[in-house]
């Protein structure tokens, strides 16, 4: 089963709506790929295909757990 068919069967909604809902909640594209259990490149292509990229927020407005660029989680930081 292809990724597209699997997602359509699982969500039973247009993919644009699935991506839109996750984007409005503040998830990043990478987080959506992980949630949907698909490769990030496939997720990017599908987002562009269904024209849902306009719903994704800027990095500063994303959910805290989706903002990992340039910062390390507390458990990775060396204790002083």
For the chain, the straight-line distance linking the first and the last C-alpha, in angstroms and rounded, comes to: 51
pTM exceeds 0.85 for this model: no
Per-residue pLDDT of the chain (80 residues), as tens digits, is 688 888 889 889 998 999 999 988 888 888 899 999 999 999 999 999 999 989 887 777 677 766 665 555 555 555 54
Evaluated on CA atoms 77, 40, 53, 9, the torsion sign reads negative
Contacts of 66 (CB under 8 A, 6+ apart): 26, 27, 28, 30, 31
């Amino acid at each position: 089963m292809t990724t597209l068919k699997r997602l359509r069967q699982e969500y039973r909604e247009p993919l644009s709506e699935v991506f839109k809902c996750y984007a409005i909640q503040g998830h990043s594209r990478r987080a959506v790929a992980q949630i949907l259990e698909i490769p990030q490149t496939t997720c990017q292509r599908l987002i562009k295909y269904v024209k849902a990229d306009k719903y994704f927020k800027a990095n500063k407005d994303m959910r805290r757990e989706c903002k990992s660029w340039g910062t390390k989680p507390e458990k990775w930081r060396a204790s002083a």
